[in-house]
Amino acid sequence: MVILLRDRIVRSVSALSLVCLLAAPPAGAQSSIRIDDPTPGRFSKLLNPYKTRSVPEIHLANTSRFDSLIKGGNLYLSSQDVVALAIENNIDVEVQRYAPLLAREVLRRAQAGGILRNVGTGVQAGPTSVSLTGVSTNSGGTGGSSGGVSSGGGIITQLGPSIASLDPNFSFFAQFQHATSPQSNTVLTGTTSLQINTRSYQAQYSQNWDFGLNAQLSYSSSHTAVNSSFYSLNPYTTGNLDLQLTQNLLQGFGRAVNTRNILVQKNNLKVTDLQLKQQVVTTVAAVLNLYWDLVSFNVDLKARQKAVAAAQQLLEDNQKQVDLGSLAPIEITRAKSQLYAAKQDLVISETNLLQQETVLRNALSRTGVATTDLADVRIIPLENIVLPAQDDIRPVEELVAAAMQTRIELEQARLNLKSNNTNLVGIKNGLKPTLSAFAELTNNGLTGDLTTLGAIQGGLPYLSGGYSNLLAQIFRRNYPNYSAGFSLNIPLRNRAAQSDYVTSLLEIRQNELSLKKQENQVRVDVQNAVIGLQQARARYESSVQARVLSEQTLDADSKRYALGASTAYQVIQDQRDLANAQNSEVQAMANYTHQKISLELALGTTLDEHHITMDEAAQGKVKAAPSAIPAAAPRGGR
């Protein structure tokens, strides 16, 4: 019996270890963050379930990609470098890499029969530029998906029938007792002070199955010695092997009811993978907006520098003409006013550029701007904003149909709805009465040393012997007990269960409507993104024409002014008009990049458009090589 019980325990522990191994993340395709198992040893299979596993400290060092992109105190970046650095170093993305691991640990808990824990954090919005005057930043539905992490299963209190522990349990009990009691009737005991020495042992193995069966196998024995000569066996040992089976027949019956938390948590695993993907998409879109805004700020800075140079030249020309007496002194004042206004705009432009670099460095580094080798580097964009000759946009209905399949939040919402329906199976089962069938089989045994009284009585030699005699009686089933029956519990009115079921069903109806609303919003996002991109192109083309005309006007009036056919006031006004036109062009250029990114978000194609794989994102290591640093600063740099 002891050998049989030991073998069952070893098999159960081995099975539990296998379940834990299967629940662990597969190697090579998951996050670089790991959970360290206990140190292996001779009895690791038996002892590891009772040892702690450890999670390494957070990693705050940036990847080596930065070293390849820094030269001469400048950080040279292309848009793909920005994407790669964000995936490798952005803290928001790193935080979400823990989410799948958290979900797997909750799955391990659910496989043991525990209720689900609500873990993880929602998707964080990415950083924004320091100045977006006139720039539309319609996100195309990037946010609002973080709530999907619960997958309808952010369960703290369990509704429906409680789920029993699915991990087997072994218990052992031992008691040693000495009892002395005075006796008022010596005829029954043969002594005035009865002393009983008892050694009791009990071992029990219990297990629940997911279809509602509970089994308990117990073995107990008790060795008793008394100081009375009126016992036929003294000392004597009693023992029994007891098997109890209980099966739920209504409430709590069936795998669908008792494994619902496991099914929900498997959906949660998918949701956390989607949430990591959503965080990558959100962060990539944000840093691309930062990068293209930085490019725009560089263009704006050059325009402001030219405006200051032109205003300075006008002031010098006016000064010469005033000295010659061909121009009124008031024109110097007007020229100075224009120069100071241009310098003020230049300072604002330089400030925006420096602040934008700080925001971008912070988004691309794990330690933000506190990193020594990044604190003082200047960022040099390797790309300029170039609009394609035309936008290749498919019909809106095709785009909407594609977005319905690719948008992450829709997939999360569908998983949420699936999980809620899975939970509803258990909640509905809670409406049923509790009906349990049970059976018990007990084999008893008794053995001991024959006393003089026992020898005289006769018929007791069969009970005389050692512990092996006790075991033989039990396994021969010389003294069996049988029992069977059922237990029925019917709650009258059953209002709590009725309320739980209807409440959950109403919530499902709300979720169905919410899913429909999200699908409608996707259609709106796609249509608005298409319209926004078309308008952004039209706005940019108009701003380019306005800037060209302003340049031509300034050039013509400057030549007329040199010939005395125009006034300094008109030239100053032309310079202001050109500055405004250049500013509008920069804003229109930035707006186009934002709208293009918004269209990618609305279609759910951000990762595909920028050649990002989720394996790389999960591991935090991008395979693409860094951009080559040019021998001299590129045209778009400073």
DSSP secondary structure of 171-207: EEEEEEEEEEEE-S-HHHHSSSEEEEEEEEEEEEEEE
The per-residue pLDDT for range 359-395, each reduced to its tens digit, is 999 999 988 777 667 778 899 999 998 888 888 889 9
Q: Which of 452, 473, 489 corresponds to the end of one domain? A: 489
The answer as to whether 310 is a domain residue is: no
Beta strands per DSSP E along 371-466: 378-381, 434-450
Asked if residue 377 belongs to a domain, the reply is: no
What is the rounded distance in angstroms from the CA atom of residue 149 to the CA atom of residue 71? 42
- Give the DSSP per-residue string, 39-71: PP-TTHHHHGGGS--B-PPP--PPPTHHHHHEE
231 token code pair: 């016992």
Q: How confident is the model at residue 132 (pLDDT cuts 50, 70, 90)?
A: low
> Is 27 among the domain residues?
yes
More confident residue, 509 or 142: 509
- The pLDDT mean for the chain works out to 86
Whether 22 is in a domain gets the answer yes
Given this model, what pLDDT does residue 605 score?
93
Question: Does 478 map to a domain?
Answer: yes
- pLDDT one-digit tens code per residue, 41-72: 777 778 888 888 888 888 888 888 988 899 88
Residue 36 resides in a domain? yes
CA–CA dist 623, 620 (Å, integer): 10
| pLDDT tens digit sequence for 413-470 | 999 999 999 999 999 999 999 999 999 999 999 999 888 777 777 667 788 889 999 9
Q: Which of 426, 455, 489 is the last residue of a domain?
A: 489
pLDDT in tens, 32-45: 788 888 877 777 77
Task: Map residue 486 onto helix, strand or coil.
Answer: strand
Residue 304 domain flag: no
E strands present in 339-478: 378-381, 434-450
In-domain check, residue 275: no
What are the start-end ranges of the H helices in 65-174? 65-69, 79-89, 91-111
Q: Which of 42, 57, 72 is the last residue of a domain?
A: 57
User: How many domains does the chain fold into?
Assistant: 2
> Which domain, by its residues, includes 21?
1-57
